[in-house]
Amino acid sequence: MQFLRKLSATIENGHHIFGFVFVDCQTCKAIRYYWVFVHVGTDWWYAEVPANKINSILPDLKVIVYGGPDYLSKIEKLVPPRRRISMRATTD
The domain ranges of the chain are 2-88
Q: Give pLDDT, residue 35.
A: 96
Q: Give pLDDT, residue 92.
A: 54
Per-residue confidence band for 67, with pLDDT thresholds at 50, 70 and 90: confident
Nearest Cα to Cα of residue 49 among 68, 30, 26: 30
Q: What is the dihedral sign for C-alpha 84, 80, 53, 43?
A: negative
- Mean pLDDT, rounded, for 17-42: 91
**CA distance readout (Å), 18 to 25, 35, 64:** 24, 7, 9
Please write the tens of the pLDDT for every residue from 34-45. Answer: 999 988 888 899
- Is residue 49 within 8 Å of 22, Cβ to Cβ? no
